[in-house]
A and B are shown apart, each in its own frame.
Chain A
């Protein structure tokens, strides 16, 4: 899977690249508007991470170019401008998702995963992990072909873990993912623990191996 990271802040694009690289994504970088424009015109990517404020131009133009050429690359806008108008403008212009800075890398990874799955696998969109199978369209989870009934939040968690396979995820990243905007208004993320516990119990009851690990009570890791 090829990812293009269009981001003018080298520290940030390096972190993103390192995190995604460990998940078998092939990352390329562009740190100016001109570079980004050139790469986008010459090569195709599974997903493009697009910062809007670039030296030399507006990231929106690059999105416009892509859409005008009818390219199928997935686009996730990553912007320091977290305002709602920007978000709506970006999504209207054809971006698949919009992530405001600062974000957790696992959140970004989960969104990339979701965008790529949606774009590449059409109707046959099944995720298979060992004895686990998730049908992304019908939202049905099966272990050893027997259905496991999950709540919306548990399914959300499961997909988040799958999108961050073999990576340690902080509890605050999970909390942010699960409760969106209101998550960061609270310090107490204990509810994450309850949801993870329920998910783990349901999966192991259905006969799924113990692939979801708790790291010192503060982080989680999905091994696959």
Chain B
């Protein structure tokens, strides 16, 4: 994906390019027009001078010598005139020339007319020239003016774009900012700014529908888990109680008793999964809101004591090193977290292995003997564990993570020197 561009710049860019192109093209056009007007006007002017000169000189009715003298004076004194006696008539010539002018002491551009005039039946070749602006200076001046106008136009564009486009698109940016704050887990839609522009009102309405829809399906999904679990409790209770009744039957033999025992185990496992699903749904529903001071060390020792039978049963070496630590949390959730981590350690430690619990200032570590590292990224996902020979519900660690997430505690797993290590940073 290329560089992202802002909406407002998008609309400005072609406008700027177009304006620059037009203005740049205008430079030679202006020049040509101005030049044409200059030359045309000067040529007309020169012809007018020629006519006046011829008429006036002829009407004076001076003797030949006096006319010659006057022409000589004009030739010498009047700038831009030069007279030469001509033998034969020649066609007029109009041209532009750039040369050094000794009077102006600079390079100058002149528009010239060479023509024949008759005074007292004498033919003169007359050159009239007028100093005009040099071509390069004209272009320069036009260029400078154009650049000035380009600059003016651009700053105007940018300013107006900022002012008007920003105002026009403001509702869009407001909507965008609102949508950014939307979180599905919060369970609430975000208020979108009202707009009297049809498109924006339409956009907001669509977004609102979308948010409500997402929220509804999110809610339904959570409610479904909770309702499904609830609905399962009663049939489970029936099965369990029926088994208890079946056990009272006088005619059971050893084989049948074993089958009943196995059914009990399966039922217990279903109840456990069901209970944990329900618990997970409740934690996600942001239940267990109330908080109090929890003495984690006391709670941990208490729970560990309940595991005495298990340590003995599996011949586990249990060591604890628990320092005082107190935090603000829901006691029920904290107890579930600690229990789940301990159960996990006890369940997966081979007979004769070690289980170590360590708690000191904000860090709880529960380690147990293991053979190979577990897949850390799957460990905390629901039903991620593959080992079906164990009795786990597959939800214990998912619940632990959910509880940690609620309070911003960091739960982590690592494996080193033959020990699985789960740690919680409170």
Residues of A within 8 A of B (CB): 9, 11-12, 15-16, 18-19, 22, 80-85, 101-106, 167-173, 178-182, 184-188, 190-191, 194-195, 215-216, 218-219
Contact = CB atoms under 8 A, between A and B. Distances in A.
B119 interface: no
Given A84-B332, A101-B236, A172-B264, 19 more contacts: A9-B237, A9-B238, A12-B234, A19-B248, A81-B230, A83-B287, A85-B287, A103-B241, A105-B240, A169-B247, A170-B243, A170-B260, A178-B309, A181-B339, A185-B272, A187-B265, A187-B269, A215-B257, A216-B254
Chain B interface, >50% SS class: helix
Contacts of B258: 216, 218
A22 B247 CA distance: 13
B57 interface: no
13 contacts: A11-B241, A15-B242, A101-B236, A102-B271, A103-B237, A169-B247, A172-B265, A172-B268, A180-B306, A185-B392, A186-B343, A188-B313, A191-B310
B244 A104 contact: yes
Contacts of B332: 84
Given A191-B310, A191-B313, A218-B258, A185 B347 contact: yes
B234 to A, nearest CB: 5
B260 A218 contact: yes
A187 B268 CA distance: 9
Nearest to A153: B309
A117 B241 CA distance: 24
A16 B240 CA distance: 11
Contacts of B383: none
B239 interface: yes
Given A9-B234, A12-B238, A185-B347, A170 B309 contact: no
B237 A102 contact: yes
A221 to B, nearest CB: 9
Contacts of A82: 233, 275, 278
B257 A19 contact: no
A83 B289 CA distance: 13
Contacts of B237: 9, 12, 80, 101-103
Contacts of B307: 182
Nearest to B276: A185
Contact of A19 (B244, B260, B278, B310): B244
Residue of A11, A101, A179 with most partner-chain B CB within 10 A: A101
Nearest to B347: A186
Contacts of A185: 272, 339, 343, 347, 391-393, 396
